[in-house]
């Protein structure tokens, strides 16, 4: 009884931190607090913006930032692999495995936000106000697509909450292959939204470009391994889905 209660509490804490980290990242990548001027009243909020000085200092910001991106990619990919899960669940209860993944992701995202070093040289800048507003809108549409896509495949399960509240059967419902909503048109709409958001900025600094390239590379590598896992789990069902449905962007012809 106490064990199950602790697992549920752990799941809720991981979920809360995971959700908070995702919100923080959407603000960080778009200079959210800078754009609305809030950080001027509280300079600590500047850490939530990619082009504002970070905590600490390094003479090699590019190398440091690439290190942060590699940390994110390794954590996000390694902890998602079946081999890692098999070993990890010998240490922690299976019902807490997904919550641990979410918690690990949250901690890495927070580290990236607070320790990212700005590189403010401009790659491009859009000056027209209507165009800037339009690009910001596309950015938020990208993350809206990502959010909606997670809900279509059971966001509470994806974030580990359902597993932590079903310790006796944490795998319940995971063996069913379904293609709701966006998944009828693209195989990975969560990543579709990320790709859109990473490209959509009116002020592409060197730092923002580094983040975009790193995240796009992660999407490519991550999807390669994810699809291998999905084929291993669903076999010909997923192979047929892969043949019919594009990975990231729908076909209109």
Give residue 3's pLDDT: 82
pLDDT tens digits, residue range 195-206?
Answer: 999 999 999 999
The pLDDT-based confidence of 171 (bands split at 50, 70, 90) is: low
pLDDT tens digits, residue range 97-150?
Answer: 999 999 999 999 999 988 898 888 899 999 999 999 999 999 999 999 999 999
Structural domain boundaries, residue 60: 2-244
Tell me: pLDDT of 32 over 70.
Answer: yes
What proportion of the chain, given as a percentage, has pLDDT over 70?
88
The answer to whether residue 218 is domain-embedded is: yes
The answer to whether residue 251 is domain-embedded is: no
The answer to whether residue 252 is domain-embedded is: no
The answer to whether residue 29 is domain-embedded is: yes
Tell me: pLDDT of 190 over 70.
Answer: yes
Give residue 154's pLDDT: 85
Give residue 1's pLDDT: 72
Tell me: pLDDT of 155 over 90.
Answer: no
Structure token pair of residue 183: 């998944």
The answer to whether residue 129 is domain-embedded is: yes
pLDDT tens digits, residue range 56-106?
Answer: 666 888 999 999 999 999 998 888 888 888 898 889 888 889 999 999 999
The answer to whether residue 226 is domain-embedded is: yes
Give residue 251's pLDDT: 84
Spatial neighbors of 205 by CB under 8 A, at least 6 apart, are 50, 51, 118, 119, 120, 121, 122, 123
Tell me: pLDDT of 210 over 60.
Answer: yes
Number of domains in the chain: 1
Give residue 44's pLDDT: 55
The answer to whether residue 123 is domain-embedded is: yes
Give residue 84's pLDDT: 87
The pLDDT-based confidence of 183 (bands split at 50, 70, 90) is: very high
Residues 224-228 have a mean pLDDT of 90
The answer to whether residue 249 is domain-embedded is: no
Give residue 229's pLDDT: 87
Give residue 174's pLDDT: 60
């Amino acid at each position: 009884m106490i064990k199950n209660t602790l697992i549920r509490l752990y799941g809720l804490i991981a979920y809360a931190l995971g959700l908070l980290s995702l919100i923080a990242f959407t603000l960080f990548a778009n200079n959210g607090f800078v754009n609305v001027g809030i950080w001027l009243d509280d300079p600590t909020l500047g850490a939530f913006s990619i082009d504002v000085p970070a905590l600490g200092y390094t003479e090699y910001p590019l190398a440091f930032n690439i290190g942060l991106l590699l940390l994110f990619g390794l954590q996000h990919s390694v902890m998602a692999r079946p081999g890692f899960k098999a070993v990890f669940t010998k240490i922690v209860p299976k019902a807490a495995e997904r919550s641990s993944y979410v918690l690990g992701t949250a901690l890495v995202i927070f580290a990236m936000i607070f320790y990212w070093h700005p590189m403010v040289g401009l790659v491009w800048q859009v000056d027209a106000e209507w165009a800037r507003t339009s690009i910001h809108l596309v950015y938020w549409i990208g993350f809206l697509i990502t959010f909606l896509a997670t809900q279509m495949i059971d966001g509470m399960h994806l974030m580990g909450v359902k597993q932590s509240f079903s310790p006796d059967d944490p795998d319940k419902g995971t063996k069913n292959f379904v293609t709701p909503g966006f998944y009828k048109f693209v195989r990975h709409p969560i990543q579709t939204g990320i790709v859109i958001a990473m490209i959509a900025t009116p002020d592409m600094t060197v730092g923002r470009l580094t983040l975009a390239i790193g995240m796009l590379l992660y999407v490519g590598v991550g999807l390669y391994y994810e699809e291998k896992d999905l084929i291993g789990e669903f076999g010909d069902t997923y192979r047929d889905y892969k043949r019919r449905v594009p990975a990231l962007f729908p076909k209109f012809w």
